Amino acid sequence: MSQSETKTLLSISAGVSMAIAASIGISFIETLVVAQLGAQALAGVTIALALYSLVFVGCLGVVVAINPILSQAVGRGDKAAIRSNAQQAGFVALAMSCVGLLVFAASPYLLALTASDPQQLDKAVTYLKGAAVGLPAWVFYIALRSVLMSLGSVRIATWTMLASVPFHALLAYALTHGTPLSPALGVLGAGIAHSAISYLTVVVILLAMRRSRSPAVRNVMQGPIRFDAPVFGAIFHLGAPMCARILLREGMLPASVMLVAPAGASMVAAHAVALRVVGFAGIVSFGLGSATIVQVGAAIGAKDWTRAKAISGLATRLCIGIGALVCVGIVLGATSIVGLFLPADDTITPMTARLLAVACLFVLIDCVQGPVGAALVAMQDARMPLVIYAVCVWLLGFPLAYVFSHGMSVAAEGVWLGLSVGSACATAMLVLRLRKKFRSQSIRPKDN
């Protein structure tokens, strides 16, 4: 079973990771295109993307709650429940998109809180006018990806997302800077391109699902579409704490910049590089965590708790192993990595390289926390992990980061050590909770 489960976990993880890399690529290309318009345009779009990302992550946190619910239905082999659960994911995506659009409607007032320069504010609001329209499609894409992942066909979403990157690059440049066939719309054009590619991606995925050879995918696409209030409510009930935990995590690292800021611009720049590198390395934990939810959820649906326990352990070992390799690569190539972000400097370069080595401790801890937390999500246990994360990371880790940043010669190293201690505490408590969950079940082979 180990080889089969390993192959499945790595396959799902690779698909999710590549899709995330593609979305990062879209944002990176958009930044390059807008940067050619000047510093004000880039600053405005950066501010707008911060709000857009916050809203999108909030929507994503609720929608992905379909994974454990649908995976358990897959484990039971309940075709009717699989079809209904998949349909409710679409309804939840629609509901969350409406909430997000309401937030964007107030964007001129929200952005004014962070953008003091009138020109930057104008650029930010203009960009969101074009980009906000695409929010429903991007959220629906997450719902489709979650459904396909639970059905073992995530490659449909992955390859479609990868193929969308070059199309987005061409469209963004054409609408932003203009061509003989299109006007130059500036930042508005960049926002429109962001929206257009989202709808194109969703349409292509739906067409691919209709033509899929997978019986499970065809089952989802058949029959009338019905609203199921209990399942809809169950997704929200599980998704709310998942969303809160994701927002707490996504907010922790950016907020740490405030602890480093008093140390000066060079320290902030070094910390910013570490944040970006840790974000890329976190794809490993997120990918294997997503795969863990699917596989453990399916085992629980089949009432095979022995297999569920084995999968969670295997996923954790795989994540630690891959994460360790990534960290070794970061440490060995630290100087070269820093050179991708900052000009060579006799002081900043070695300081940032050392900082990356310290930040790798956080990455390794996250490689344990990701699969363990995912196994709890697969059991539809999200509220207590939220409390654990809030207490350990925000009430312990963040204050320690503040204390360590003032007690070490390199403030940013102290911040990463403090955050690592908080994350390690949360990870230890999550491991204990997972073990307790497994002990509380009757561990036995799958019923025949």
Residue 116 pLDDT: 61
Residues 193 and 322 in one domain: no
Residues 167 and 275 in one domain: no
pLDDT tens per residue, range 18-62: 988 888 888 888 888 888 888 788 878 878 887 888 899 899 989
Residues 275 and 325 in one domain: yes
Residues 147 and 198 in one domain: yes
Residues 207 and 302 in one domain: no
Q: What torsion do the CA atoms of 11, 12, 16, 18 make, to the nearest 10 degrees?
A: 10
Residue 448 pLDDT: 41
Residue 356 pLDDT: 92
pLDDT band at 446 (very low <50, low <70, confident <90, very high): very low
Residue 172 pLDDT: 92
Residue 127 pLDDT: 92
Residues 339 and 229 in one domain: no
State the Cα–Cα distance between residues 86 and 80, nearest whole angstrom: 10
308 in any annotated domain: yes
Residues 211 and 78 in one domain: yes
Mean pLDDT of 386-406: 90
Q: Among 189, 207, 238, where does a domain finish?
A: 238
Number of structural domains (the chain) is 2
Residues 81 and 216 in one domain: yes
335 in any annotated domain: yes
Helices (H), 333-410: 334-341, 348-378, 383-389, 398-407
Q: Tell me which residue range forms the domain holding 345.
A: 256-443
State the Cα–Cα distance between residues 218 and 273, nearest whole angstrom: 44
417 in any annotated domain: yes
Residue whose pair of structure tokens reads 């497994």 in the numeric block: 438
| More reliable by pLDDT, 289 or 39 | 289
Residues 337 and 375 in one domain: yes
Residues 187 and 280 in one domain: no
Residue 4 pLDDT: 81
211 in any annotated domain: yes
Residues 327 and 431 in one domain: yes
Mean pLDDT of 409-419: 85
Mean pLDDT of 163-176: 93
Residue 114 pLDDT: 63
Look up the pTM and report it: 0.86
Residue 180 pLDDT: 86
Spatial CA neighbour of 124 closest among 109, 140, 136: 109
Q: Assess whether pLDDT exceeds 60 at residue 378.
A: yes
DSSP letter at 445 equals P
pLDDT tens per residue, range 63-96: 999 999 999 999 998 998 999 999 999 999 999 9
248 in any annotated domain: no
For the ranges 202-206, 260-264, 439-443, the lowest mean pLDDT is seen at: 439-443
pLDDT tens per residue, range 302-355: 999 999 999 999 999 999 999 999 999 999 999 998 887 778 877 888 888 999
